[in-house]
Amino acid sequence: MYYLVVGVVYEGAVVVAWRQGFAPSERGPVWLWLIAGAVMLGLIVWGLWSWRNVWLPRVLWGFNAVRLPFLLGSAYVPAIERQFTADYYQLQIVLLLINLWMLARAGWDV
């Protein structure tokens, strides 16, 4: 269930970034990325809910853990050029750590 909450927050962040002009137009229209994100979110939530295989949360944990160094650098290293404030990246770190904790429980607390 938490993965669904995280996905909705990310979809909302894309909408806010698009409205403020941060979404790069060279990567395609934003609506296409929102649809792709919603489909991916739906598949992941469905897979976690119905498949109940320990390997899916483990793989998702690995993909999410790769994001942590980038977020830490964006939040705390002043030399990195940012599009968003440090508070935004710190919130993303908190959400990511909760997400990693929940996925670790699903993947390793069997």
Cα 108 from chain centroid (whole Å): 21
Q: Quick one: average pLDDT of 44-70?
A: 92
Chain segment 60-74, per-residue pLDDT in tens: 999 999 999 999 988
Q: Quick one: average pLDDT of 84-104?
A: 90
Cα maximum dimension of the chain: 44
Q: Which token pair is 4?
A: 């669904």
Query: Residue 29: what are its φ and ψ, rounded to 5°?
Result: -70, 145
> What local confidence, expressed as pLDDT, does residue 4 receive?
86
> What local confidence, expressed as pLDDT, does residue 99 receive?
92
Answer whether residue 79 shows pLDDT above 80.
no
d(CA 80, CA 73): 7
> What local confidence, expressed as pLDDT, does residue 110 receive?
66
Give pTM, 2 decimals: 0.81
